[in-house]
Amino acid sequence: MHKLADHPRETLLRAEPKENLREAAGDLLGRLIAPVVGAISRARRARTFHPRGQTFHARLENLAADGPLSSLGALLSGPVLARFSGALWNGDVEHLEVLGIALRFRREESADPTTLEGDQDLLFATIVSPFTLPIAPLTTDSSDFMANHYWAVSPFDAPSVGRVKFRLSPRYRPAPTSMSREAKLATFVLTGDRSWNLEVRHTFATSWTAVARLTVDSVADIDQETLRFSPFHEGRGIVPRGLVHAIRRRAYQASQAARPIARTIAFA
């Protein structure tokens, strides 16, 4: 289990020149696509990706008993703001879709949509890696949020653990029903097992380890346009790294700058 921590700082330091080149290339690519992303957000009057979502109060509980994994679980434990959304369509489309869960780890429960001191964002989607992006709409069960695994896609540097990837896995998959995806989620938050395991693995490992349990509690009435998630909100010291994250920085900035500021709540 604790092999995740067996990567000394010297190894990371030796990798930094190559890492810096990848991130510089990602930043350049991000600058090139940012105008396109901004134009789409301006035309949609919403996020380029994940334009509509349901937002909930949730909580994270540490599962690891000891060692570096326990430290990581403890670092993120506590109140969480969770947003569930479809990535591609600005409407109730339940086919050829990618689903996402955005998490904001907070010091205390709050419906404040702005980023507070100590907030850490982790963004997950039904995309295993950047290489599987083209087929993700085909491999996602877009009729039910709880029928999928969600990956943070690209790596992070995490305190005490090193370079890792994150995944969310549902602890329970409900039986199929004729309800809409949004109705299923709202119903199971009220009546069912509405929890996910937060899992980690080292970037070159193959097995995942559950470090914490995410439980969704109640709907959060929140201003969706002021609420702006970003993997670069690093209040707990979990830092996004690599080419894809470097591309995302410019794209997120462009999308958020182009979006309107208007009051919409949990289901907007």
**What is the 3 state secondary structure string of 206-264?**
CCCEEEEEEEEEEECCCCCCCCCCCCCCECCCCEECCHHHHHHHHHHHHHHHHCCCCCC
Place 31 in a pLDDT band, splitting at 50, 70 and 90.
Answer: confident
Q: How far apart are CA 253 and CA 111, in angstroms?
A: 23
Place 175 in a pLDDT band, splitting at 50, 70 and 90.
Answer: confident
Please give the residue range of the domain that contains residue 194: 2-258
Q: Is 265 contained in some domain?
A: no
Q: Is 41 contained in some domain?
A: yes
Q: Is 111 contained in some domain?
A: yes
Domains identified in the chain, total number: 1
Per-residue pLDDT, 24: 74
Extract the tokens encoding 134. 């083209």
Q: pTM of whole model > 0.85?
A: no
Task: Kindly report the CATH number assigned to the domain that includes residue 93.
Answer: 2.40.180.10
Place 75 in a pLDDT band, splitting at 50, 70 and 90.
Answer: very high
Q: Is 127 contained in some domain?
A: yes
Residue of 140, 41, 145 whose CA lies nearest to 85? 145
Residues 6 or more apart whose Cβ sits within 8 Å of residue 127: 98, 133, 136, 151, 153
Q: Is 268 contained in some domain?
A: no
Q: Is 267 contained in some domain?
A: no
The answer on pLDDT for 118 being more than 70 is yes
Q: Is 263 contained in some domain?
A: no
Q: Is 264 contained in some domain?
A: no
Q: Which residue shows structure tokens 């990535």?
A: 87
- The residue with greater pLDDT, 246 or 133, is 133
Distance of CA 257 to the CA centre of its chain: 20
Per-residue pLDDT, 2: 44
Per-residue pLDDT, 46: 55
